[in-house]
Amino acid sequence: MPQDLAEIYRTTYRALVRFLYRKVWDAERAEDLAQEAFARAVVHKPDNARGWLFIVAANMARDDARRAARERRHLTLLTAEPQASEPAADDALHVENERTRVRAALEQLTPRDREVLLLWDSGVSYEAIAAQTGLARGAIGTTLARARRRLVEAYEAGQRGEHVARG
C-alpha cells in the first residue's frame, strides 16, 4: 500500500465504514465493503484517493442495497406500522429501536439528499461532495439544509406516529 494510502486508511477507514453502514445497515458488511474499497484503491491508485473511496463505496453499497431491497421494504413496512416495543426495553433494544427509527427517517429522504447528508456526516467536504454527486458546490449547503430538516422531521413524525398508535 502506498504510504499516502496507508495514511488515508488510518484517517478515513472509520468514516467510510460509517458511510457504508448507513447504506447497508450491517456493521460487518460495511467493514467488508470498506476493506474492499481500499483494496481497489491500492490497485487503481487514484489521485484523490479519499473522494475516490467514497465514490467506490457508494457504488458498492448501491449494488449491495439492491440485493437487500426486498428486506428493506419489509423493514420499512414494519417501521411504519405500530411497533410492538416493550415498555421496559433494555438499553440494547432501545439503541436498536433508535437506529431503526433513524434508518426509517433516512429512507424518506430523496436519494440525492440522503447521499449528500451521509457524505457530509462522514467528513467529506462540500467540494468533494459536489465532485461526487455532480451538484454545484454552491448547491451543497442548500441540499444539506433540506436533508437535515427532512431527516429531523421524518424522525419526529415517526415518533409521533408511534405515540399516536400507542396512545
Partner 1 sequence: MSHVDDGLLHAYLDGELSPAEAQGVDAHLAQCSECRRRLEEERALIARAAELLALAAPPDRELPPFRAGDVKPPTRLWWHVRLPLAWAATVLLALGIGTYLGRGVERARQPDTTAYAPPAERRALDARASPELAEKESRVKLRGSARTPPAARPPAPAPARAVADSIAPLRREPLLARADTPAAYAYGERAADSAARITHGKASQDERDRWQKGDAISVDSARRVLGVDPLVVPGVPIEAFYRGRSIGYSGVVIVEQALDSNTMIEVINARSAPALLNEVVVTGAQPVRSRPAEAAPPPAPRPAPSPGAGLFHDVRGPLSADSLATLRRLLQPLRP
Cell matching residue 61 = 453499497
**Rounded distance, CA 80 to CA 60, Å?**
28
Torsion of CA 133, 135, 138, 144, to 10 degrees: -50
Binding characters for partner 1, 63-102, by CB under 8 A (x = yes):
--------------------------------x--xx-xx
Q: How far apart are the first and last CA of the chain?
A: 57
Min CB(8)–partner 1 separation in Å: 11
Beta carbons within 8 Å of 23's beta carbon, 6+ residues apart:
30, 58, 61, 62, 64, 65, 118
Site map for partner 1, 106-145, x if CB under 8 A?
Answer: x----------xx-xx---xx-----------xxxxxxxx
Find the shortest distance in angstroms from Cβ 57 to partner 1: 12
Q: Is 16 in the site for partner 1 (CB under 8 A)?
A: no
- Interface segment toward partner 1; rule CB under 8 A; list 27-35, 47-55, 62-70, 74-82: 27-35
Residues in contact with partner 1, counted by CB under 8 A, come to a total of 50
Q: Are 90 and 143 in contact (CB under 8 A)?
A: no
Is 52 near partner 1 (CB under 8 A)? Answer: no
CB of 87 to partner 1, least distance (A): 20
Other C-beta atoms within 10 Å of 13: how many?
A: 16
Q: How many CB atoms lie within 10 A of CB 17?
A: 21
For partner 1, the binding residues (CB under 8 A) are 1, 6, 9-10, 13-14, 17-18, 21-22, 27, 30-32, 35-36, 38-40, 42-43, 95, 98-99, 101-103, 105-106, 117-118, 120-121, 125-126, 138-149, 151-152, 155
